[in-house]
Chain A
């Protein structure tokens, strides 16, 4: 699923570059806690989260997360956005709750390959 499709499904706004919409993700993971984000590393993935600090961006880079979408209209600060742009990690934000955002993406075919931990 491309970020462009995800943007449409979740009425999302792109915080980084518009060119990022071609990026393709094959699975999604949702996490509210840093330790959970840290424990997840599946390539070509989308992180769905409400955590907006710079640490999440750095973790995403290390964990090969392809893109991040923030739920419930939570927005990272300028520094985090700048870091993500530098690291070429697209950032989107949606007004949907975690539950509805995941639900909608799932209905359109996105899945999660993470093993239970």
Chain B
């Protein structure tokens, strides 16, 4: 499904306005451990995390992830947003905890492995 559709369905708040939401989301990954994401997430996956520092953008970029959803109402750092805009990595936020966000993504048909 398209990232825009996912974002609308989950009522996510988009923090990177110029980001390309037309990309296809191939699956999902939930982790706060960066090397875990590097080792196991797949290209096109949406990443759900509570990490807000700018290294999440490097990881998303390296793995070709379709975007990052910050859970628990976490707000990204300014540095993170600048880097995300520069690298065209969409960052969205939700007040919901990871379990709820993942549950809804899974119900929409997104899987991990």
Contacts and interface: CB of A to CB of B under 8 A. Distances in A.
B-side interface size class: 20 to 34
Contacts, number: 95
Contacts of B105: 99, 103
A116 B48 CA distance: 14
A98 B103 contact: no
Interface centre among A103, A112, A114 (most CB of B within 10 A): A103
A106 B30 CA distance: 14
Nearest to B112: A99
Interface string A26-47: 0011111100100000000000
B32 A32 contact: yes
A19 B106 CA distance: 31
A25 to B, nearest CB: 12
Contact of B98 (A30, A107, A111): A30
Interface of B: 27-33, 36, 40, 48, 50, 71-73, 95-100, 102-107, 110-113
A99 B29 contact: yes
A104 B100 contact: no
A81 to B, nearest CB: 22
A105 B100 CA distance: 10
